Amino acid sequence: MALWGGRFKGGSSDKFKAFNDSLPFDQILVQQDIQGSIGWSKAIHKAGVLTLDEQQKMEQALVDLSAKVESGEIDFTDSAAEDIHSWVEGELIEVIGDIARKLHTGRSRNDQVSTDLRLWSREQVDVIIETLNAVVVELINLADNNKQHILPGYTHLQRAQPIRFAHWCMAYVEMLKRDISRLQDARVRLNQSPLGCGALAGTTYEINRYDLANSLGFDGPCLNSLDAVSDRDYVLELLFAASTGMMHLSRFAEDLIFFNSGEANFITLGDAVTSGSSLMPQKKNPDALELIRGKCGRVYGSLQALLVTLKGLPLAYNKDMQEDKQGLFDALEQWVSCLDMAGEVINSIELNSAECAKAARGGYANATELADYLVGKGVPFRTAHDITGAVVLYAISQGEPLESLRLDEFKQFSSLIEADVYPVLELEYLVDKRNILGGTGIEPVTKVIEQSRLQLGSANYVVRDAKLTDIRAIVKLVNYWSSREENLPRSEDDLIKSIRDFAVIEVNGQVCACAALYIYSTGLAEIRSLGVTINHQGKGYGQKLCQFLLDRAKALSLIKVFVLTRKPKFFEMLDFLPGDKDTLPEKVMKDCDLCPKQDNCDEEALIYNLSDHHSMPHLLNSIDVTVEQ
């Protein structure tokens, strides 16, 4: 099915269709296209294009289609659809008939595809950040377990100064942390909604684009329709972040390939991440690391290809922009794959500490310390430098490191050198003398490891009572989850009046979750309007809020707290027990009569008896959280 063709007398040739169609690769956006279509159906219902019955039928058909895709029932190769947008609409027409033909009213594939791609990209950013964090944890653990071990540091691939192996590990931790921050920044800029911008000039229908954006989890709408449909700088940002991240991984791989070589022999890589030779039985090749290094160029190619594609395009949309997807899909897939493999490699590393120390001593890296020692004895630095150079030349001729020379040998070059020179020449002294912040000494390295683990282990968040200044964030959260029918809609005026009922979680100064404890006149209380922003899910914030409100209910001497939910397992983890909606007349009278699903309610009632619970140590012990009463 094509979404165009009315002005054409003939069909496309088979060659053109194969050349033009994007379904073979943009099928990856199917769930995002369904999600955006549900949001659009609600928007055009509010604009008077769809009746409530039509919108509900359309939404249910889209939800059912999403479930079929999720279960693997769909084979896209059987379809002749041009792209994922026409495929979704065609499937919808098969189920609900001509009603589905109204879905595209006021919408273009131009704003639709940009919306789909932004939704997909947002999800991928969250996945990559999680994967990056996992690799950071592995590196921190490797550093922490090898703080005592010393190896040569290099400049120009020549031994320069000794460093702790943990210091090397933490260098890559810093790089990966910046990779995370780049993605976080890019996520903010891409999380704007193009939907409602039409082909290039906007739409004539009365669409509230702010509500539409909020319903899809965007921070707001794009403010210029030309820009919204025709720029892909958010894709470039992700490709640049991927290229930079892969560059870091490639350097990491190159270091370890050298460390693992027979010439260095600093580490041994595990069998799980190496392979053998078909000819030479003695070989153990670092193939995982070489592939990481090799795939870096592949990701660079995706960035360069899109830059070249976009550089000469006039506003607004051009079909060239269909080339924005395959490179992005592949680059992010390769990045995640390489990060996963880097984690495997890190887990397999065994440090050959004796070889590391031997190499660190063999490079005369302690020559600078000998010069500083002479300066401490009153010798001018330039003279000390000349003396030390002569000592190094002598040590090389003897085939000995500096610390192995006898005292009488040292005195050939300066009578000021005494027995107290030997501690100065030891590896640990050389390393730990650099005890400044950012240095390789044991104290700064240990401190950085502890700080990084602390930063990674717990975000800077607070659970507290809501304030009136939180109202915009609360309205956005409530509207988003009510649009997905996870809770009932509440007007801003209603939320302002009930602000004292709410509690919020604030992460790094921003409200990311909210919930309310509503008390009925009978003393029964309900936890409602629970919502967590998409990019903060999976961190236990929902549980933290519920626990906070249960503690509030307990302090008020309430007896029971109930919830109505489609996710009973979540509340059962908090010791809520199944209940009966018929025993909640207060709820039925206040809210259920207003609910569009009152005759077909699919929510379950669960009740928490406060008198049966004096405390919840099993939750409190697992939650590292600051609570403001």
DSSP secondary structure code for residue 153 in this structure: E
Structure tokens at 156: 């120009």
Q: What separation in angstroms does the CA of 260 have from each of 270, 284, 348?
A: 11, 10, 12
Triad 77, 5, 73: Cα angle to 5°: 20
Closest CA to 513 of 542, 492, 491: 542
Residue 156 annotated among the catalytic residues of the structure: yes
SS3 69: helix
Q: Decide: 153 and 359 in contact? Cβ < 8 Å.
A: no
The torsion angles phi and psi of 314, rounded to 5 degrees, stand at -75, 160
Q: Which of 261, 275, 277, 458 is catalytic?
A: 277
Please state whether 178 falls in left (phi above 0), alpha (psi between -120 and 50) or beta.
Answer: alpha
Kindly report the CA angle at 293 between 289 and 296, in degrees rounded to 5?
140
- Distance CA(107)–CA(90), nearest Å, equals 16
Indicate which residue of 156, 397, 614, 615 is catalytic: 156
Q: Which residues contact 230 (CB under 8 A, 6 or more apart)?
A: 110, 200, 313, 315, 316, 317, 318, 321
Which residue is it, tokens 């969250």? 126
Provide the token pair at 482.
């009510």
**CB neighbours (10 Å) of residue 222?**
23
3-state SS of 439-506? CCCHHHHHHHHHHHHHHHHCCCEEEEECCHHHHHHHHHHHHHHHHCCCCCCCCHHHHHHCHHHEEEEE
Contacts 24+ apart (CB under 8 A), 489-493: 490/529
- For residues 3 and 104, is the Cβ–Cβ distance under 8 A? yes
Structure tokens at 118: 């932004």
Residue 613 bears catalytic tag? no
What percentage of the chain's residues is helix, strand, coil (to nearest 5)? 60, 10, 30
Residue type at position 598: Q
Tokens of 23: 């379904």
Closest CA to 112 of 35, 7, 218: 35
Query: Is the separation of the CB atoms in 300 and 241 below 8 Å?
Result: no
Q: Which residues are catalytic?
A: 156, 277
